[in-house]
Amino acid sequence: MAISFQVNGRSHSVDVDPKTPLLWVLRDTLNMTGTKYGCGIAACGACTVHIDGEPARSCVYPVASVAGKKVTTIEGLSTDQSHPVQQAWIAEQVPQCGYCQSGQIMAAVAFLKKNPSPTAAQVDEAMSNNICRCGTQQRMRAAILRAAGGGK
């Protein structure tokens, strides 16, 4: 049974087991490798995408659940890294190893959509569910505040 949905504004129909996690359909079937596998249990946030504008952990989200919905991945934010959060990430030199960055950026974009003028404490709270092992949380906070207009 084919499952149809949109990814980054393009319609797709995939014929996979409906229980297959969206992450694997994105990476293995649609060849969109910007979304990363981290833990497989929705704990780290590396696999964060937006489904109908809301952040979701794609490693545990069955592809059948996105039928008829709109999925946005890191590749869909912009074609040239011009999204304000991506620009802030670059300006603040956030990535160290970079592995978690697509999930961090997608979480930050969703957060700023709901809270366009956050405090540093609100940023810290919102981003505490996405794990960074490199320790760039301070740079992430600065980038999110910059993207919100409260940074440099």
Structure confidence by residue, pLDDT tens digits, 63-73: 999 999 999 99
The string of pLDDT tens digits covering residues 123-145 is 999 999 888 888 889 999 999 99
The string of pLDDT tens digits covering residues 67-122 is 999 999 999 999 899 999 999 999 999 988 888 899 999 999 999 999 999 999 99
Count of residues making up the chain: 152
CATH number at residue 62: 3.10.20.30
- How far apart CA 21 and CA 44 sit, in angstroms, is 16
CATH number at residue 90: 1.10.150.120
What domain count does the chain have? 2
Give the pair of three-digit tokens for residue 151: 């940074």
Only one residue has tokens 């569910």, namely 129
Give residue 140's domain range.
84-147
Supply the pLDDT for residue 130. 87
Domain end, chosen from 77, 101, 120, is at 77
- What's the Cα-to-Cα distance from 121 to each of 18, 32, 77, 118, rounded to whole Å? 39, 33, 25, 8
- Specify the pairing of strand 10-14 against strand 3-7: antiparallel
- Using 50, 70 and 90 to split pLDDT, how confident is the model at 151? low
- How far apart CA 51 and CA 147 sit, in angstroms, is 22
- Residue 90 shares a structural domain with residue 118: yes
Domain end, chosen from 55, 77, 99, is at 77
